[in-house]
Amino acid sequence: MDNCSYDIDEDAPIHALPYEVMRDLSRILDGGDAWVELAAKMPDITVQDVDGCRQFSSTHRGSPSEYLLRIWASKGYSILSLYNLLAITRMVRCMRTMRHLIPESHHYLEEYILCADDSSLPTPSQSDAQYFKGQHASLASVRREDAQRQKLVSGYSSASQKSGGASTSSETASSGNMSDPILSALQNTLTVPYSDLQLATQNFSEDNILGRGGYGVVYVGEWKRTKIAVKRFMATGSKNAQVQRERLRQSLQELKTLAKFRHDNILPLYAFSLEGPEPCLVYQFMSNGSLEDRLSCRHGTPPLSWRQKREIAEGTARGLHFLHSIGSVPIIHGDVKSANILLDRHFEPKLGDFGLSRDGKVEADAEEKSPLIASHVKGTLAYLPPEFITNKILSTKLDVYSFGIVLMEICTGMRAFLDSRVPPSLGDYCINRRDSHMRNPGNPSLGWIEALMDKRTPSIKNQGVVVAWCEGIMLLGLNCAEKDRFLRPSFSQIVESLSKISFLAD
């Protein structure tokens, strides 16, 4: 298709499509009766409309898909509506046929579909392109209409098979979009217009920035008279297509995970927006920031108490145990670190930043098949185990190793990595201090623990109890951070171990 210039508004009705575009769309959609699948997703298209298209095709030997598009146009739908609908049904060839008529801000939908060969990605669903007639349709209404449309597709597919016709389009990755896990997960998750988020964050003002990451910026804002955090996925300073796809992949992966899994220690997702130039996720605002910030007393905040540290360690472990055990296939967070453990106003920990999360296998005996090999996880180096750094081996034991480093941070108040420290890695530093202490038989048995304990944390009357708790935490942390992944405990064992040492008094 020659991408010549047309002076056409994307909000123009579908029947304003250039002849060449309508012709090419009809040829694609007529093949394999793909137009029937398209009709099944069209708001306001009835069984009678589809029967009329069939009758037009048999009586006038015309294109049923062109007739369908003209019917839909008569009901007030625009060129942009059609492009979004083609994204829902994963009809990439059709999207490319009319791409030159669509604003670039909507072209990300094609990138979304191009990522579909990654098995960890959700498939496109109606939640990603529901802006028909310029309105933001609710997922609930989409779901109500889908049952009737699915019957329409099933009924016609059955009839086509009896007559020897093709039942599905070669363009669709699957005919089972109705069982799409992300659509199911997002059923009770709000959508929010991008313009609302611009207003909430003062047009994503620099003054509203809470933090930055590899693929996004987090802003504080106010929406519906509620303080919120908005993660705006953006590949700063790069036009590289691979980077843009990774940005989109991470936003969708995080959206899928947070919408599907609800737990007291997982960051609550309020809403999402996919209509703007960048995908955005809206979260509950965590008024006490991250564990990393509180351990370093950032902005002059008071240090955490030992009780608060204990509760943060236990809550984080429960959240990770939930992810690893909730289904037949565990969810690997992939980026556990103190910066991604957020604290609400009661200092309850919430796991955040699920952009690197993956479905994965449970770590088991060495005789079993190799764990999943990952190529995209980019977690902070100090929190990553040797098997991942060297061979990109991804298993539940990656999260265990990372959590072990977090436990050491909680106990010592030290950063996970510090250039001026020898060795700079906190895990290696704690091992060296322990081994050095143990080499001298005259040293008190807990001397290395007391030397490493966070001196900023307020003492309590029975400080011996704190020392004993820190010993348990440090030993558990070192066990979690074993170089050999087969020696690391599971999160079921970690939660049990933490409960056994939870005798800390106020």
Alpha helices in 338-391 (DSSP H): 386-391
Is pLDDT larger for residue 252 or for residue 401? 401
Residue that the structure tokens 């997982």 belong to: 266
Q: How far apart are CA 414 and CA 469, in angstroms?
A: 17
**pLDDT > 70: what percent of the chain?**
72
- pLDDT tens column, 293-303: 999 999 999 99
pLDDT computed for residue 112 by the predictor: 65
Which residue among 24, 335, 353, 399 is the active-site one? 335
> Domain 291-500 adopts which CATH fold?
Transferase(Phosphotransferase); domain 1 (1.10.510)
Please compute Rg for the chain using Cα positions. 27
pLDDT computed for residue 241 by the predictor: 57
The model's confidence at residue 104, banded by pLDDT at 50, 70 and 90, is confident
- Whether 26 and 14 have beta carbons less than 8 Å apart is answered as no
- Where does 200-330 show beta strands of DSSP type E? 209-212, 216-223, 226-233, 269-273, 280-284
**pLDDT > 90: what percent of the chain?**
39
Q: How far apart are CA 21 and CA 290, in angstroms?
A: 52
Taking residues 194-205, report their average pLDDT: 94
| Domain boundaries of the chain, sorted by first residue | 14-179, 190-284, 291-500
pLDDT computed for residue 186 by the predictor: 58
Q: How far apart are CA 231 and CA 140, in angstroms?
A: 24
- Alpha-carbon distances of 377 from 101, 188, 294, 406, rounded to whole Å: 36, 29, 26, 18
Which helix (H) or strand (E) is 384 found in, with range?
none
Taking residues 87-105, report their average pLDDT: 86
Q: How far apart are CA 327 and CA 130, in angstroms?
A: 30
Annotated binding site for ATP: 231
Is pLDDT larger for residue 110 or for residue 384? 384
Structure token pair of residue 83: 């492009």
> Domain 190-284 adopts which CATH fold?
Phosphorylase Kinase; domain 1 (3.30.200)
pLDDT computed for residue 363 by the predictor: 54
Q: How far apart are CA 120 and CA 123, in angstroms?
A: 10
Per DSSP, what are the bridge partners of residue 231?
A: 218, 281
Which helix (H) or strand (E) is 372 found in, with range?
strand 372-373
Q: Annotated catalytic, 335? A: yes
The model's confidence at residue 490, banded by pLDDT at 50, 70 and 90, is very high
Annotated binding site: 231
Q: Taking the complete model, does pTM exceed 0.85, yes or no? A: no
- pLDDT tens column, 303-350: 999 999 999 999 999 999 999 998 888 888 888 999 999 999 999 999
Per DSSP, what are the bridge partners of residue 221?
A: 228
Structure token pair of residue 188: 């009770």
pLDDT computed for residue 371 by the predictor: 62
